[in-house]
Each structure stands twice: as C-alpha cells, then as structure tokens.
Amino acid sequence: MEILDLYDINGKKLNKTHIRGNPLNENEYVMGVDIWIKNDHEQILMTQRHPAKSFPLKWECSGGWIISGEDSLDGALREVEEEIGIRLNKINGKIIKRWMWEEENMIVDVFLFRENIELNKTRLQKGEVINIKWVEKEEIKNMFKRNEMVEPLKYVCELIEDGII
C-alpha cells in the first residue's frame, strides 16, 4: 500500500494523505515524476513497460508516484533506483517542466539528468520494466509515430524541438 500526499491544483500540499488506488476527490491531486536521462552522446534512456501493466510493452522514461513525505527530487531518485537499479547523482538533475495528467489527477514534475549509465550495470524491476536502451532524440519522435511510446509522454517531442532535452 502506497500512501501519497495530496496537493491542490497549484502543487501546494493539502496536509492530507491518500491511499494509492482509491478515488480522489475533486480538487485533490497527487504528485508524480518523469525522469529523462541523457548521456554525453545526447542519447535518451528508455525503458519498456511490462506486458501486464497499463500501456503494455510501450517505451517510456522512468517515473512514478511521489510517496508521502518525499519531495519530487527524492521521488525521482527513488523511482530510478527501483526501476533500473541505478543511483543517480542529485546534482546532475533539474526540473525542466511541470504538467498536469488530468486522467490521473496527477501533477508531474519532469526531470532531466545528465548521466552516463552502462546498460549492463542496470537491474530491471520485475513486473515493471522488461527492457532498457539508449535512443537518439530523433528516434523518440519516430517511436511515437509508430505507437511504441506511452502516449501521455508526447510532450517530450516539444522539449526535444526546443532544445531543452
């Protein structure tokens, strides 16, 4: 059971918690993170979702829910370590965007980390991630066109176009 802090639409904590999976009330939001990792070759790290999860077999960045008591940076570091077994250096990351995932009542902080991760040193989380690879930025756009990516992450195409990623 995951306990999440609740937020208002502006991302301010409401001093209330929520059990993940239960319905949210109107004007209550949870916080999530998307973590894009870029290496020195300007490639982006992508993970493939487990077939039993929503968006089965689609490619995405690491990400997830912020649990109660965490800030978004701590949540980002935890999610990456859980999903791919890598400890990121917090000084190598920064928030580059915040977006609202309306269907989930989730406010999402988007991080970009600069890290050179050796794929053979990753440990993929069972039941969550089945594959991992480095992808050229242009290929990410093509993966969306081929419907291989998690659709709500389409904002990354704008971040690539704008030179943010």
Mean pLDDT estimate for the chain: 95
Span 36-61, pLDDT tens digits: 999 999 999 999 999 999 999 999 99
Prediction pTM value: 0.93
Distance (Å, rounded) from C-alpha 127 to C-alpha 125? 6
- Angle at alpha carbon of residue 156, lines to 87 and 145, rounded to 5°: 120
**CATH code that applies to domain 3-161:** 3.90.79.10
Q: So what's the pLDDT on residue 72?
A: 95
Domain boundaries, the chain: 3-161
Query: pLDDT tens digits for 112-155?
Result: 999 999 999 999 999 999 999 999 999 999 999 999 999 999 99
CA-nearest of 65, 75, 85 to 129 is: 85
Q: What is the dihedral of CA 16, 19, 21, 26, to 10 degrees?
A: -20
